[in-house]
Amino acid sequence: MSHSPATRTTPFDTLLVANRGEIACRVMRTARAMGLRTVAVYSDADANARHVREADEAVRLGPAAARESYLNVAAVVEAAKRTGAGAIHPGYGFLSENGAFVEALDAAGITFVGPPASAIAAMGDKSAAKARMANAGVPLVPGYHGDDQDDALLRREADTIGYPVLLKASAGGGGKGMRVVESGEQFQAALDGCRRESQAAFGDQRMLIEKYLTQPRHVEVQVFCDRHGNGVYLFERDCSVQRRHQKVLEEAPAPGMTPELRRDMGEAAVRAAKEIGYVGAGTVEFLLDADGSFFFMEMNTRLQVEHPVTEMITGQDLVEWQLRVAMGEALPLAQEALTITGHSFEARLYAEDPEQDFLPATGTLTRFAMDLEGAGLDPERVRLDSGVATNDAVSMHYDPMLAKLIVHGDDREQALATLNRALAALDVQGVVTNRAFLQRLATHPAFKAVELDTRFIEKNEATLFAPRQYRIEEYAGAALVGLNQLARECESDSPWDRHDGFRLNAPHTIRIALCDPAHAQDDDDSEAVVVVEGRRERGTDTGWQLTIRGETLTASLQPLTGDAVAVTLNGHRRRLQARRDGNVVVMVDPSGETRLFWRRIDAIDHGHHEAESTLTAPMHGTVVALLVDTGQKVEKGMPLMVMEAMKMEHTMTAPADGHVASFHFQAGETVGQGDVLLEFVPEE
């Protein structure tokens, strides 16, 4: 049974965007194109953020903590009144699915660009939503969605459903408060962890349990409804490539869909939306099994992060649709007028370190750019939605997503090739990101072959994180980057200018050791270390003779735009991005990213660092729990303490057998990146 929407709608000329970062910038872009005045809101941490700089007006909400700023309903409503904003777009996250916020806007006479509070409530409680979907004839995954949250009962229900099961926060989303439980023995610890995450993220500890399908694909349908009874679906997206239940790569349309399956899923999604009286943009998420059966998972009552891939294949601006529906207009197009053209991918660029279990990263972006022209990319086919720019700070307080890279092609193969070239052209410095990991995903044979399910990263972990086997061309390129920078610095009074006999245009040989950064402390005669001898070619400014593993190459490096360079080896020229990040040379081209530790060994004694007996914080965050007592004997790998950063938990483990001599922080205290967390005494 549907419900008539109650949310106020009138035309408006000023739009407040109650969000930050990439989505705030993206919404304001369409609003300006429609002739609307834009208002940003910000916390103290975001006073100089890009979304603030781009808005016509901006209003401070409060301190950095989201609960005191972006989640402060009264402050957001007051900002709208203060600036004369007739409507508020919530973006995604924060207040986007908060029914109390919608009711507050109704009371204030401000239009909410989104569904009515009743629809948010219907889907916000996942247990109740399952029952509503069953009534609407939408297929469901077997599970427990009841109100009784007794630990023993939840364990019995999980045992009955059969492992593996998925524990999920009833009020949750975005991968928070969600864990796969493989056996009954793991259940209680997983339940405790999920409840802590759910309480921190949503203020609600209720859990639901679902049968965890072992090879499902995550396929979601974009729906849109207006206030005149019209509802359409704008086809589907495949979001199967995930880590910690957070999407990483998305594509549209979903590969392998038959017209019949597309129609069945689309119509089921529209039924789901109409069942709750939905208005605006929403996404109905399904699990698609290998046999073609599909099951309702949840509905996101907001615009999705991955909406651009739908825009790419349909040619529609979904934010413009949202704003027009909020003004009371009918949907721009009927179902039969909507068509699919080509294929699109979206890659989410996060400030995180995949090599360190995807730990969030913070810092200042010393460079954030993408050279489309230099990479030979069509700007009509490549789109970068970002909330940051060069010199912006990446804060510990919010989600680590920096930007979304969206590409379009005539078919999946062409779109994937464009994605790979665009990732190679993306130049981000100053903060560790997952850009190289995204390239490994995009070039993985299984991904190219559409061997997709929601455990794709786990199943292919061995190859996605395999030790690199470097080619002689990569060693040569890294050596050239280091040698040319060394030569430039030696022309000035830099610290590199040592009295060791090296002079420009002289025949002196420079010896360089190159290795994977993981082997940076290895001896120079280690098998993991390659020694390169470089000798400047007489009469040239850029030419070198390089000797690598007994092979001699004639080599040169020519700077291009930004960090782009042209490397020529024995007459073979290729273009790539190259830079030095400390002592690491980073090189990027469409085949992937190469990182090689660079040190000079003919004049500089680097030595090796002894292992320390302290554990330091890998990121800014909060201590959640101390798991052992001081003096307690522990084994290598045993959990010692739990930190939380960006709403996700991270467990610190013992580096060896031994004991903790002391903890420097207690539960609830905030720590900075690099802070010493505890003193650890290895067993002798």
Distance CA 487, CA 505 (A): 10
Query: Distances from the Cα of 91 to the Cαs of 27, 320, 339, in angstroms?
Result: 7, 13, 26
Distance CA 623, CA 625 (A): 6
Longest dimension (CA), the chain: 85
Secondary structure letter of residue 330 according to DSSP = P
Distance CA 235, CA 383 (A): 20
Structure tokens at 466: 């395999």
Q: Which of 97, 300, 145 is nearest to 218 (CA)?
A: 300
Q: Which of 20, 179, 302, 381 is catalytic?
A: 302
Query: Distances from the Cα of 409 to the Cαs of 55, 251, 521, in angstroms?
Result: 32, 11, 44
Establish whether 549 is a catalytic residue: no
95 strand-pairing partners: none
The half-sphere exposure of 51 on its side-chain side, counting CA atoms within 13 A, is 29
Q: What amino acid is encoded at 460 in this protein?
A: N
Distance CA 54, CA 40 (A): 8
- CB-based contacts of 503, cutoff 8 Å, min separation 6: 490
Burial zone of 48 (CB within 10 Å; 0-12 exposed, 13-18 middle, 19+ buried): exposed
Distance CA 392, CA 369 (A): 12
Distance CA 660, CA 363 (A): 30
Q: Which of 82, 111, 208 is nearest to 154 (CA)?
A: 208
Let me know: does 168 contact 141? Beta carbons within 8 Å.
no
Q: What amino acid is encoded at 646 in this protein?
A: M
- CB-based contacts of 61, cutoff 8 Å, min separation 6: 41, 42, 43, 68, 69, 70, 72, 75, 76, 79
Distance CA 168, CA 551 (A): 57
Residues forming the active site: 302
